[in-house]
Structure 1
Amino acid sequence: MQAKTEHKNIRHLSLTELEQYFETLGEKKFRAKQVYEWIWQKHAHHFDDMTNLSKELRQQLAENFSLPALKVDATQYSADGTIKSRFHTVDHHMIEGVLIPTDERKTACVSSQIGCSLSCKFCATGYMARQRNLDYDEIYDEVVLLNQQSERVYEKKLTNIVFMGMGEPLLNYKNVLKAIERITNPTDGLGMSPRRITVSTAGVAKMIRQLGDDKVKFKLALSLHAANDTKRNEIMPINESNNIGALIDALNYFYQQTGNEITFEYILFRDFNDSRQDADELVKLYRQVPADLVNIIEYNPIEQALFAKPEEHAIQQFMQHLEKNKVNARLRRSRGKDIDAACGQLANKE
């Protein structure tokens, strides 16, 4: 018996390709639209679910195609309302996604790769080997499952999506953009506004420029975490080939091409990047890019790293210095720390 995974994933066919397939069967073209709705809008996970197709046609699809989908493997609930889900892929890998609720927003934090190759020193995912990129339909599934969870638990649909989970989105460029295209498609997708989607990168200058050339409509966040090359090299090896100067140029190009919102992410580490001088360097960098916001993030400890969160007075002094220098800065308190769901903590732990 042939394994199902050897069949072509039906979700990797365009609507035109599906129409051509049905024509070879002597079926009407509209059948393709029906199937497309089942797989992208009604989120069918089995051909048998497609009840407006004949039994024979469903059987024929099952014999010729696979319909793999992510499944929820485990769910953890934080005391603050954050929900972390571990998803199981069809080829037996695990990834994590997080639902972060506030009164105004229900945000899905999604992963783009299984593991990560960038080895950022403060991030639990960075200590995992990169197994592979996620396909666009797998990323789409993450969003669908987290949306279903939000509707079930909070009786509200997702309002926002951030690509801040496991992996570097810009090293899985085509799948991330194709997933966003499906998520934002108003006719046969989820119909979410691209303005409610933020893609976060550790800093791949060439691909930031590519985003500009592709005239994307979503927001961009740069995980900065240090405002000079010496310190950034120390904690983020990618900076050695994508230094701050190159990133500033790329971000300015991105903004010229798109006019889209840019955010800096800056995790505070005690006695590393939390001094007055560090704040001054951040102010200087902020003035070189049309950034809308600097998110100052509380550090969330992980077993593999020796970093620590600064004392509260040091955090407040840092924030005050930014505000005094007219930097639009916001302190982002961590959510889901008790279930390892906070920024930098995703690592498929039990």
Structure 2
Amino acid sequence: MKNLRHAPLAEIEQLMKELGEPKFRAAQIHDWIWKKHASSIDEMSNLSKKLREQLLEVYQIPKVTIDHSQFSNDGTIKSRLKLHDNRFIEGVLIPTEKRMTACVSSQVGCSLSCKFCATGYLPRARNLEFDEIVDEVTLINQQAETHFGRHLSNIVFMGMGEPLLNYKNVLKAIERITSPEGLGMSPRRITLSTAGVAKMIKQLGDDEVRFKLALSLHAANDQKRNEIMPINESNNLKTLIESLLYFYQKTGNEITFEYILFKNFNDSRKDAEELVKIYRQVPADLVNIIEYNAIDDADFEKPEENVVDQFMEYLAANRVNARLRRSRGKDIDAACGQLANVTRTA
């Protein structure tokens, strides 16, 4: 059975012609898929029963559903989402006074094996299809409307998986989300976070994307980054800096560095000095300093508060635009690096 949401409008129009149906039926079907978010062909009530039966002979609509949701004391909602093949991903709604943000996944599992990330300890089962990513965003948007009476204001691709290793589907999903028939969201309100795939960062530049880019840095020298992020062995800092400069030259889009502080690993004065050097080589507008969130498989710890303060003070003294990002949803394993803690035991 073919996925109806993967069928171009021209294909549906051709099928209507073959079935002796008027051309506008194709537009009606298209509206049911993308504007009304139909979960089945049977829901398409303005089509005749015969036409629905004929469509069912060729197509299906595999939908993503919410299997289970957890609610944090700070308002964060983490949802385990079930895919049509009975696999699971996780997505998070992060509400604040000014923003309503969806943290979305792009793969089932991950192949990069970052040592501090729960998803990194899962095998990569497969990429998400573009329509599954759209479903994920749509479901989280519905949660925002139901629980907070507000639409999503921002989307971050910081959930399970490496977005740039699912390039075509992620870009197609963003195209759909930002379209008038999707959420109509500005690309400037979308941030794609990557562990660092230099070749694909350059491809983003060539494609002149309009969304923001965040690099998960977490160590400012190759030796340490190799220890915690194996991808650095084939995408070292020099190569990544070159790719980020190329991306900025092509797009002018904002670039952010993400830097998790680990006790006695990357939190020293020397580490801060190395981070400043990296920052000055790239037109980055912000460094997000992130507190570490514990996971079962890793032995990392958070630094003491005074160490964090000293690190931040050094960055500020060297004119680095840095922000300390306090994690939300820690009580439900929804914070940065924790996704998959529940999913993998499902």
Q: TM-score range by the shorter chain?
A: over 0.9
How many correspondences in the alignment? Answer: 343
Q: Which runs of 5+ in 2 are unaligned?
A: none
Picking from 120, 138, 148, the partner of 1:154 is 148
Establish whether residue 76 from structure 1 lines up as the match of residue 70 from structure 2. Answer: yes
Q: Distance in 2 between matches of 1:196 and 1:272?
A: 33
Q: TM-score, normalised by structure 2?
A: 0.98
Picking from 211, 228, 243, the partner of 1:235 is 228
- Counterpart residue identity of residue 219, structure 2: A
Structure 2 counterpart SS, 1:301? coil
Structure 2 counterpart SS, 1:323? helix
Q: Distance in 2 between matches of 1:23 and 1:330?
A: 57
Establish whether residue 137 from structure 1 lines up as the match of residue 131 from structure 2. Answer: yes
Give how far 1:226 is off. Answer: 0.2
Give how far 1:98 is off. Answer: 0.2
Establish whether residue 280 from structure 1 lines up as the match of residue 273 from structure 2. Answer: yes
Runs of 4+ in 1 over 4 A off after TM superposition: none
Structure 2 counterpart SS, 1:287? helix
Q: Distance in 2 between matches of 1:103 and 1:58?
A: 45
Q: Please give the residue correspondences for 1:216-295 in structure 2 after superposition, counting only pairs within 5 Å.
A: 216-295=209-288
Give how far 1:14 is off. Answer: 1.4
Q: Distance in 2 between matches of 1:219 and 1:26?
A: 46
Establish whether residue 91 from structure 1 lines up as the match of residue 85 from structure 2. Answer: yes
Q: Percent identity?
A: 71
Q: Distance in 2 between matches of 1:21 and 1:290?
A: 50
Cα distance per residue 1:276-308 (max 9 Å; x no partner): 110011011001001110000000000100000
Picking from 311, 316, 319, the partner of 2:304 is 311
Q: Distance in 2 between matches of 1:58 and 1:87?
A: 28
Give how far 1:62 is off. Answer: 1.6
Give how far 1:311 is off. Answer: 0.5
- Counterpart residue identity of residue 222, structure 2: D
The residue number in structure 1 matching 2:178 is: 184
Q: Distance in 2 between matches of 1:33 and 1:264?
A: 43
Q: Which runs of 5+ in 1 are unaligned?
A: 1-6
Structure 2 counterpart SS, 1:222? strand
Establish whether residue 328 from structure 1 lines up as the match of residue 318 from structure 2. Answer: no
Q: TM-score, normalised by structure 1?
A: 0.97
Q: Give the conservation status (yes or no) of the 8 Å contact 1:41–1:190.
A: no
Once superposed, what is the RMSD of the aligned Cα atoms? 0.8
Structure 1 counterpart SS, 2:56? helix
Q: Distance in 1 between matches of 2:272 and 2:19?
A: 66
Give how far 1:153 is off. Answer: 0.3
Q: Distance in 1 between matches of 2:142 and 2:301?
A: 36
Q: Distance in 1 between matches of 2:290 and 2:17?
A: 54
Establish whether residue 341 from structure 1 lines up as the match of residue 334 from structure 2. Answer: yes
Cα distance per residue 1:170-220 (max 9 Å; x no partner): 00000000100110111x222111111000000000000000000111100
Q: Distance in 1 between matches of 2:308 and 2:14?
A: 60
